[in-house]
Structure 1
């Protein structure tokens, strides 16, 4: 017979996974896949001990994987995009013009702002990182800027737009689940996100001030520009391919067909513009592009992409979601969340608990969307009972859920960034300034009361009646 899982038993799979992760990743410097498998096994044993049959546990894992399937499809398409765009000379062209136009000292600010503008226009951090971010990594590394810094700036910019754009799925999800008007929700996020972006840009300005002062860096940039011209046909017309993909997404064309068009155009560019064989273009799609050059730096930069390069990322996403599926659908996650609610005594502790719950869900269920869905349904009534407007909850969900997903290496966002930008979460974490400073600002507001909007007594009663009716029918 199934019973509600005790919180102490619910903690065990998470504890086992974290210990295994620390040992495997930090001590033995191995991949995080096996620790996630160990965590999944521990979760299955706990669920079994509480009366769940193996068939039911299997179904929980499959449900978890199903939640990640859209992300897995995008991850594979991004691998194909990188391979075709490098082979087609698109990435080389973006790097070439980037090196000629942007100075090393202003690069971090520039790439953060560009990513912010693009993601604001298209509402997708992943599409932004998979296009502008990939080129930005190439440009920045060519300038001698450390990859984790570049990745942090790209992520900060991309997630600013993802959080603030009315086209963003997470923005619409947070506002919809809390029954908050979309533009009321976005306007309320200005108070945490705009200061967060300004602080991030200030840090990037400081970090970048000394880049480009070394004469050898200028020589390396000049050599890279020359080698790009030798190995690729460079043309501004090739920039139309990423611009078209961005325009399609901005026009609300779904990400999958938009990326597919970009892949097809990259493939054609490799065959027609670069003059490679169809065999070489197909190899770039499957196993990544291979450049023949004596420039070791350029070879390391451009020998990448392809479907095969994303299989590490895909397998980690699948395993992570089996772990998250058992925690979510067995009720273990709910037990952990209920424990969090017990410490709620004030507005400050309520919002702090919401932020913590979002991060905990990101860490346990490995999916950004779940980090918004689960806490939203758990905290909605509590916010109303304490007389707080729903936009306080919707903002906290985004501050704690959308932004912190990048810090969990086994979260779908963390694995996507590793596969796309080639930088591990532990490496870029100190430089993803926006993503960790916004939750801090949100906490400050929570305990000071600044920008925390209250309900009138009449509004509170009306919403409670509505919530009662929803619970009765749903």
Structure 2
């Protein structure tokens, strides 16, 4: 862990590189230490393969998310959601409005970074022109962007948290309602009161109007297109699992691209792999819509494979067990275990400097501990997101903090007090855990089913 964290810090903070190589070096260090302590190479290799095998369900979902993003952007569905979202801006409620807009956009595309890099940049210009302090505007943008990212079935972090813990995607999202909705509600209340003294300012909506005009020129905008995400929601309510629900969304999005937007069939098919490509002359629109497809998800897929190689070696050779054993000496109750998970995810953000790693490593560390206490896996997946996904923005040297500083030109220490949702959610999650509210347990029958399934998978392997 020390080798991995040390190299991660140098690679990401000093060289501005990706976390892939540090994780590979960490896996090599773990394998070497295990070999020196007497483990045979075959055992170490088996651990690596088992780790990768655990990531396969998440990888399948992530690939389908890439397909969905490409299909929905090409089909004009995302453009329609953004177009109607932008219409809700009002001068007297700018902070609330920009936070809600960022939440809608991020929910539609599953990416806080893309939202902040496009709508967020425009929002900063408008807010500052109204005389609102930059840290305040940035905080509202960040809260909304991370809310949408956290709750979107198209988000890679949401799919990682669900997949790595073996939780059904939409069960995971529904379980996050109990911490994330109150956190966002609290943030909007704060922004409402903060924004009242700026209510007399006039909004320069030139940038927003420009975006809306470009969207109308580039896509067929129609409220009927909103039926596609509604259809996916209906399937989820009907308890259809993630893969077929997303598959239906992909097909409908592709059909809208070909038959509503009028794209050639070959272009609509290629978009599913290569992503959507558009040149409107509006940099913000181009940055937001040139994305999606299977190819866009290969960074996340490769990171999941490498991280699970590292985690698999550490798990198979007893290293994770040794770390967790020390933590569980203190974390004896369900509330303290969930708190330990949230804290571990945040500390991973601060030490490994990477949002994905804050989900992947603690996710594997605590799986058995939750099972031993008969806690449902969705408690673990929610804790990972509450402590990992959204707190990454509060760490200046984390990749998310670095990105926000470069994009919104506000230091994390300056906007942190106003990024209300990002610190309210983990605090609410810890409080709820100790109160035992919405902490769900497994029945004896569910435990037996899981044990039988794991035994079957072991035999197959």
Distance between the aligned counterparts of 2:74 and 2:139, measured in 1? Answer: 25
Which residue is 1:50 aligned to? 37
More moved, 303-312 vs 435-444: 435-444
CA contact (8 A) 1:109 1:153 kept: yes
Seen in structure 2, the aligned counterparts of structure 1 residues 433 and 250 have a Cα distance that, compared at 3 Å, is farther
Which residue is 2:123 aligned to? 144
How far the C-alpha of 1:407 sits from its partner, in A, is 5.5
Which residue is 2:79 aligned to? 92
Which residue is 1:270 aligned to? 257
- Which of 42, 55, 63 lines up with 2:50 in the alignment? 63
CA contact (8 A) 2:341 2:362 kept: no
Distance between the aligned counterparts of 1:49 and 1:24, measured in 2? Answer: 27
Distance between the aligned counterparts of 2:121 and 2:359, measured in 1? Answer: 37
* Structure 1: runs of 5 or more not aligned: 1-13, 116-125, 163-167, 177-181, 381-389, 416-422, 454-462, 464-469
Which residue is 1:165 aligned to? none
Which residue is 1:107 aligned to? 97
CA contact (8 A) 1:111 1:136 kept: no
Which residue is 1:281 aligned to? 268
Matches within 5 A, 1:223-372: 223-343=210-330, 353=340, 355-356=342-343, 366=360, 370=364, 372=366
Seen in structure 2, the aligned counterparts of structure 1 residues 87 and 365 have a Cα distance that, compared at 3 Å, is closer
- Which of 348, 367, 384 lines up with 1:401 in the alignment? 384
* Structure 2: runs of 5 or more not aligned: 125-136, 154-158, 349-355, 393-397, 400-406, 438-443, 445-450, 456-461
Seen in structure 2, the aligned counterparts of structure 1 residues 282 and 368 have a Cα distance that, compared at 3 Å, is farther
- Which of 346, 369, 374 lines up with 2:368 in the alignment? 374
How far the C-alpha of 1:436 sits from its partner, in A, is 3.9
How far the C-alpha of 1:332 sits from its partner, in A, is 0.5
How far the C-alpha of 1:18 sits from its partner, in A, is 0.8
Report the TM-score when normalising by structure 2: 0.68
Distance between the aligned counterparts of 1:22 and 1:253, measured in 2? Answer: 42
More moved, 141-150 vs 267-276: 141-150
How far the C-alpha of 1:196 sits from its partner, in A, is 4.0
CA contact (8 A) 2:79 2:215 kept: yes
CA contact (8 A) 1:95 1:135 kept: no
Seen in structure 2, the aligned counterparts of structure 1 residues 32 and 252 have a Cα distance that, compared at 3 Å, is same
Larger Rg: 1
Distance between the aligned counterparts of 2:337 and 2:255, measured in 1? Answer: 54
Seen in structure 2, the aligned counterparts of structure 1 residues 202 and 21 have a Cα distance that, compared at 3 Å, is farther
Residues 1:79 and 2:69 are matched in the alignment: no
For each residue in 1:134-185, what CA deviation from the matched residue of structure 2 results, as whole angstroms up to 9, or x when unmatched?
99769844852588854542433675799xxxxx9999x99x9xxxxx9xxx
SS in 2 for 1:101: coil
How far the C-alpha of 1:302 sits from its partner, in A, is 1.1
CA contact (8 A) 1:286 1:307 kept: yes
Report the TM-score when normalising by structure 1: 0.66
CA contact (8 A) 1:79 1:307 kept: yes
Q: How many aligned positions are there?
A: 393
Distance between the aligned counterparts of 1:112 and 1:92, measured in 2? Answer: 14
How far the C-alpha of 1:222 sits from its partner, in A, is 1.2
How far the C-alpha of 1:440 sits from its partner, in A, is 3.4
Which residue is 1:199 aligned to? 186
Seen in structure 2, the aligned counterparts of structure 1 residues 132 and 239 have a Cα distance that, compared at 3 Å, is farther
